[in-house]
Amino acid sequence: MRTNIVAGNWKMNKTASETDALLDELAAKLPDSSAEVMVAPVFVNLAEAVRRMDTSRIEVIAQNMHFADSGAFTGEVSADMLLDIGIGTVILGHSERRAYFGEDDQLLAKKVAQAVKKGLRSIFCFGEELQDRKAGKHFEVVASQLKKALFGLPVSAWGKIVLAYEPVWAIGTGETASPEQAQEMHAFIRKIVSDAYTDAVAQKVSILYGGSVKPENAAEIFSKPDVDGGLIGGASLKADDFVAIIRAIS
Ligand code: PEP
Protein backbone atom coordinates (compact mmCIF):
# COMPACT_ATOMS: atom_id res chain seq x y z
CA MET A 1 0.00 0.00 0.00
CA ARG A 2 1.30 3.43 -0.91
CA THR A 3 1.02 6.37 1.44
CA ASN A 4 -1.45 9.07 0.45
CA ILE A 5 -0.14 12.55 1.15
CA VAL A 6 -1.69 16.01 1.09
CA ALA A 7 1.00 18.67 1.43
CA GLY A 8 0.47 22.43 1.54
CA ASN A 9 3.20 24.65 0.09
CA TRP A 10 2.70 28.06 1.66
CA LYS A 11 5.44 29.64 -0.48
CA MET A 12 6.41 33.21 0.61
CA ASN A 13 3.16 33.80 2.48
CA LYS A 14 2.16 34.32 6.13
CA THR A 15 3.96 36.24 8.86
CA ALA A 16 4.79 34.52 12.14
CA SER A 17 1.47 35.39 13.76
CA GLU A 18 -0.47 34.48 10.63
CA THR A 19 1.39 31.16 10.48
CA ASP A 20 0.49 30.40 14.10
CA ALA A 21 -3.16 31.25 13.45
CA LEU A 22 -3.44 29.10 10.33
CA LEU A 23 -1.70 26.16 12.01
CA ASP A 24 -4.02 26.36 15.01
CA GLU A 25 -7.08 26.51 12.77
CA LEU A 26 -5.87 23.57 10.69
CA ALA A 27 -5.07 21.47 13.75
CA ALA A 28 -8.52 22.17 15.18
CA LYS A 29 -10.33 21.33 11.94
CA LEU A 30 -8.16 18.42 10.75
CA PRO A 31 -10.43 15.57 9.62
CA ASP A 32 -9.73 11.88 10.25
CA SER A 33 -7.91 10.65 7.21
CA SER A 34 -5.53 7.92 6.21
CA ALA A 35 -3.48 10.52 4.36
CA GLU A 36 -0.35 12.10 5.77
CA VAL A 37 -0.87 15.85 6.08
CA MET A 38 2.03 18.29 5.73
CA VAL A 39 2.47 22.05 5.56
CA ALA A 40 5.50 24.05 4.46
CA PRO A 41 5.74 27.52 6.05
CA VAL A 42 8.67 29.87 5.33
CA PHE A 43 12.05 29.15 6.96
CA VAL A 44 11.85 31.80 9.69
CA ASN A 45 8.62 30.32 11.01
CA LEU A 46 9.58 26.65 10.86
CA ALA A 47 10.94 26.11 14.38
CA GLU A 48 7.88 27.63 16.04
CA ALA A 49 5.59 25.74 13.65
CA VAL A 50 7.23 22.43 14.61
CA ARG A 51 6.75 23.24 18.31
CA ARG A 52 3.16 24.26 17.73
CA MET A 53 2.29 21.06 15.83
CA ASP A 54 3.97 18.86 18.44
CA THR A 55 0.72 17.18 19.46
CA SER A 56 -0.91 17.33 16.02
CA ARG A 57 -0.43 14.82 13.22
CA ILE A 58 0.31 17.70 10.84
CA GLU A 59 3.93 17.41 9.76
CA VAL A 60 5.80 20.67 9.28
CA ILE A 61 8.13 20.50 6.29
CA ALA A 62 10.61 22.82 4.53
CA GLN A 63 10.32 24.43 1.11
CA ASN A 64 13.97 24.17 0.14
CA MET A 65 17.48 23.25 1.32
CA HIS A 66 21.11 23.67 0.21
CA PHE A 67 23.22 20.72 -0.95
CA ALA A 68 26.28 21.50 1.19
CA ASP A 69 26.80 20.50 4.82
CA SER A 70 27.63 24.10 5.84
CA GLY A 71 29.80 27.01 4.77
CA ALA A 72 29.89 30.25 2.82
CA PHE A 73 26.47 30.12 1.17
CA THR A 74 24.83 33.37 2.26
CA GLY A 75 21.09 33.11 2.70
CA GLU A 76 20.94 29.33 2.49
CA VAL A 77 19.81 26.63 4.95
CA SER A 78 21.37 23.20 5.41
CA ALA A 79 19.92 19.74 6.00
CA ASP A 80 21.41 19.61 9.52
CA MET A 81 19.72 22.91 10.39
CA LEU A 82 16.37 21.48 9.34
CA LEU A 83 16.91 18.20 11.17
CA ASP A 84 18.00 20.06 14.29
CA ILE A 85 14.62 21.79 14.60
CA GLY A 86 12.65 18.62 13.94
CA ILE A 87 12.04 18.82 10.19
CA GLY A 88 12.08 15.46 8.40
CA THR A 89 10.82 16.34 4.92
CA VAL A 90 11.84 18.96 2.34
CA ILE A 91 10.32 20.09 -0.96
CA LEU A 92 12.98 20.15 -3.70
CA GLY A 93 12.82 21.27 -7.31
CA HIS A 94 9.64 23.33 -7.16
CA SER A 95 9.04 25.00 -10.53
CA GLU A 96 9.37 28.45 -8.91
CA ARG A 97 12.85 27.50 -7.67
CA ARG A 98 13.68 26.28 -11.17
CA ALA A 99 12.25 29.34 -12.95
CA TYR A 100 13.24 32.21 -10.62
CA PHE A 101 16.37 30.87 -8.93
CA GLY A 102 17.96 28.93 -11.76
CA GLU A 103 17.77 25.50 -10.14
CA ASP A 104 18.43 22.87 -12.76
CA ASP A 105 18.43 19.08 -12.78
CA GLN A 106 22.16 18.85 -11.98
CA LEU A 107 21.83 21.08 -8.92
CA LEU A 108 18.71 19.22 -7.84
CA ALA A 109 20.52 15.89 -8.11
CA LYS A 110 22.99 17.25 -5.53
CA LYS A 111 20.21 18.48 -3.25
CA VAL A 112 18.35 15.18 -3.35
CA ALA A 113 21.59 13.25 -2.73
CA GLN A 114 22.28 15.46 0.30
CA ALA A 115 18.76 14.95 1.65
CA VAL A 116 19.18 11.17 1.24
CA LYS A 117 22.59 11.25 2.93
CA LYS A 118 21.12 13.13 5.87
CA GLY A 119 18.01 10.97 6.13
CA LEU A 120 15.55 13.65 5.07
CA ARG A 121 12.57 12.73 2.94
CA SER A 122 12.36 14.70 -0.33
CA ILE A 123 9.20 15.75 -2.10
CA PHE A 124 10.72 16.09 -5.55
CA CYS A 125 8.80 18.39 -7.92
CA PHE A 126 9.00 18.28 -11.68
CA GLY A 127 6.75 18.83 -14.68
CA GLU A 128 6.61 20.20 -18.17
CA GLU A 129 5.96 23.74 -19.36
CA LEU A 130 3.06 24.66 -21.61
CA GLN A 131 5.19 24.77 -24.75
CA ASP A 132 6.44 21.24 -24.02
CA ARG A 133 2.89 19.92 -23.76
CA LYS A 134 1.77 21.77 -26.87
CA ALA A 135 4.71 20.25 -28.75
CA GLY A 136 3.83 16.79 -27.47
CA LYS A 137 7.11 16.61 -25.53
CA HIS A 138 5.71 16.33 -22.01
CA PHE A 139 6.64 12.67 -21.49
CA GLU A 140 10.15 13.28 -22.80
CA VAL A 141 10.68 16.32 -20.54
CA VAL A 142 9.43 14.54 -17.43
CA ALA A 143 11.54 11.45 -18.17
CA SER A 144 14.61 13.62 -18.58
CA GLN A 145 14.00 15.54 -15.33
CA LEU A 146 13.64 12.31 -13.36
CA LYS A 147 16.60 10.63 -15.01
CA LYS A 148 18.97 13.55 -14.40
CA ALA A 149 17.97 14.32 -10.83
CA LEU A 150 16.94 10.96 -9.37
CA PHE A 151 17.92 7.92 -11.34
CA GLY A 152 21.49 7.99 -10.04
CA LEU A 153 20.19 7.21 -6.56
CA PRO A 154 20.56 3.71 -5.14
CA VAL A 155 17.39 1.63 -4.67
CA SER A 156 17.72 2.06 -0.91
CA ALA A 157 17.17 5.83 -1.26
CA TRP A 158 13.69 5.46 -2.72
CA GLY A 159 12.06 4.96 0.66
CA LYS A 160 12.83 8.65 1.21
CA ILE A 161 11.52 9.93 -2.13
CA VAL A 162 8.04 11.29 -2.85
CA LEU A 163 7.37 12.47 -6.40
CA ALA A 164 5.23 15.52 -7.16
CA TYR A 165 4.19 15.91 -10.79
CA GLU A 166 3.39 19.57 -11.27
CA PRO A 167 2.76 20.69 -14.84
CA VAL A 168 4.06 24.27 -14.81
CA TRP A 169 1.11 25.51 -16.85
CA ALA A 170 -1.24 24.42 -14.06
CA ILE A 171 0.55 26.03 -11.10
CA GLY A 172 -1.21 29.07 -9.70
CA THR A 173 -3.04 29.57 -12.99
CA GLY A 174 -6.43 28.12 -12.10
CA GLU A 175 -5.90 25.69 -14.98
CA THR A 176 -5.76 22.08 -13.80
CA ALA A 177 -4.61 19.02 -15.67
CA SER A 178 -7.69 16.89 -16.26
CA PRO A 179 -7.88 13.80 -14.04
CA GLU A 180 -7.17 11.76 -17.20
CA GLN A 181 -4.07 13.82 -18.04
CA ALA A 182 -2.83 13.43 -14.46
CA GLN A 183 -3.45 9.67 -14.47
CA GLU A 184 -1.79 9.25 -17.86
CA MET A 185 1.36 11.04 -16.68
CA HIS A 186 1.44 9.35 -13.26
CA ALA A 187 1.19 5.91 -14.89
CA PHE A 188 4.02 6.90 -17.24
CA ILE A 189 6.14 8.06 -14.26
CA ARG A 190 5.56 4.78 -12.45
CA LYS A 191 6.55 2.89 -15.58
CA ILE A 192 9.86 4.74 -16.01
CA VAL A 193 10.68 4.30 -12.31
CA SER A 194 9.96 0.59 -12.78
CA ASP A 195 12.20 0.46 -15.87
CA ALA A 196 15.03 2.30 -14.08
CA TYR A 197 14.71 0.27 -10.85
CA THR A 198 12.14 -2.45 -10.15
CA ASP A 199 8.38 -2.74 -10.17
CA ALA A 200 8.46 -2.99 -6.37
CA VAL A 201 10.14 0.43 -6.13
CA ALA A 202 7.66 1.93 -8.59
CA GLN A 203 4.63 0.50 -6.79
CA LYS A 204 5.81 1.87 -3.45
CA VAL A 205 6.63 5.45 -4.41
CA SER A 206 3.89 8.02 -3.74
CA ILE A 207 3.23 10.28 -6.72
CA LEU A 208 1.43 13.52 -5.87
CA TYR A 209 -0.29 15.80 -8.35
CA GLY A 210 0.12 19.57 -8.05
CA GLY A 211 -1.42 22.41 -10.02
CA SER A 212 -4.52 24.38 -9.06
CA VAL A 213 -6.02 21.61 -6.91
CA LYS A 214 -9.13 22.99 -5.20
CA PRO A 215 -11.92 21.54 -3.06
CA GLU A 216 -14.04 21.33 -6.24
CA ASN A 217 -11.64 19.19 -8.29
CA ALA A 218 -9.63 17.30 -5.64
CA ALA A 219 -11.83 14.21 -5.27
CA GLU A 220 -11.84 13.42 -8.98
CA ILE A 221 -8.08 13.86 -9.35
CA PHE A 222 -7.36 11.83 -6.21
CA SER A 223 -9.67 9.03 -7.37
CA LYS A 224 -7.23 8.11 -10.15
CA PRO A 225 -5.28 4.93 -9.36
CA ASP A 226 -1.77 6.35 -9.77
CA VAL A 227 -2.46 9.66 -8.00
CA ASP A 228 -1.47 9.33 -4.35
CA GLY A 229 -2.45 12.80 -3.15
CA GLY A 230 -1.52 16.37 -3.90
CA LEU A 231 0.89 19.22 -3.41
CA ILE A 232 -1.31 22.23 -2.87
CA GLY A 233 -0.31 25.88 -3.23
CA GLY A 234 -2.97 28.59 -3.13
CA ALA A 235 -5.73 26.46 -1.63
CA SER A 236 -3.52 25.45 1.31
CA LEU A 237 -3.54 29.02 2.61
CA LYS A 238 -7.19 28.79 3.65
CA ALA A 239 -7.90 26.25 6.37
CA ASP A 240 -11.38 25.36 5.13
CA ASP A 241 -10.18 24.75 1.57
CA PHE A 242 -7.18 22.70 2.68
CA VAL A 243 -9.33 20.63 5.04
CA ALA A 244 -11.85 20.01 2.23
CA ILE A 245 -9.00 18.79 0.01
CA ILE A 246 -7.78 16.44 2.77
CA ARG A 247 -11.35 15.12 3.10
CA ALA A 248 -11.40 14.45 -0.64
CA ILE A 249 -8.77 11.76 -0.29
CA SER A 250 -10.33 9.93 2.67
C1 PEP B 1 2.41 24.58 -6.06
O2 PEP B 1 2.92 25.67 -5.93
O3 PEP B 1 3.07 23.54 -5.82
C4 PEP B 1 1.04 24.52 -6.52
C5 PEP B 1 0.56 23.36 -6.90
O6 PEP B 1 0.36 25.71 -6.53
P7 PEP B 1 -1.21 25.90 -6.84
O8 PEP B 1 -1.96 24.84 -6.08
O9 PEP B 1 -1.53 27.29 -6.33
O10 PEP B 1 -1.37 25.76 -8.32
User: If you average pLDDT over residues 24-38, what whole number do you get?
Assistant: 96
Helices (H), the chain: 16-29, 46-52, 79-84, 95-101, 105-118, 130-134, 138-150, 179-196, 199-204, 215-222, 239-249
DSSP secondary structure, 79-92, as one string = HHHHHHTT--EEEE
CA 60–ligand 1 middle distance (angstroms): 17
Within its chain, how far is the Cα of 54 from the centroid?
21
How far is 36 from 34, CA to CA, in rounded Å? 7
Q: Residue 238 has what pLDDT? A: 98
What is the Cα–Cα distance from 120 to 104, expressed in whole angstroms?
Answer: 20
Nearest CA to ligand 1 atom 8: 233
Atom 7 in ligand 1: which residue has the minimum CA distance?
233
Distance from residue 136's CA to the centre of ligand 1 (Å): 23
Residue ranges lining ligand 1, Cβ < 6 Å: 9, 166, 171-172, 210-213, 231-235
User: From the alpha carbon of 171, which atom of ligand 1 is closest?
Assistant: 10
Q: In the prediction, which pLDDT does 173 show?
A: 85
Give dist(CA 187, CA 31) in Å, integer.
29
- Band (132; pLDDT cuts 50, 70, 90): very high
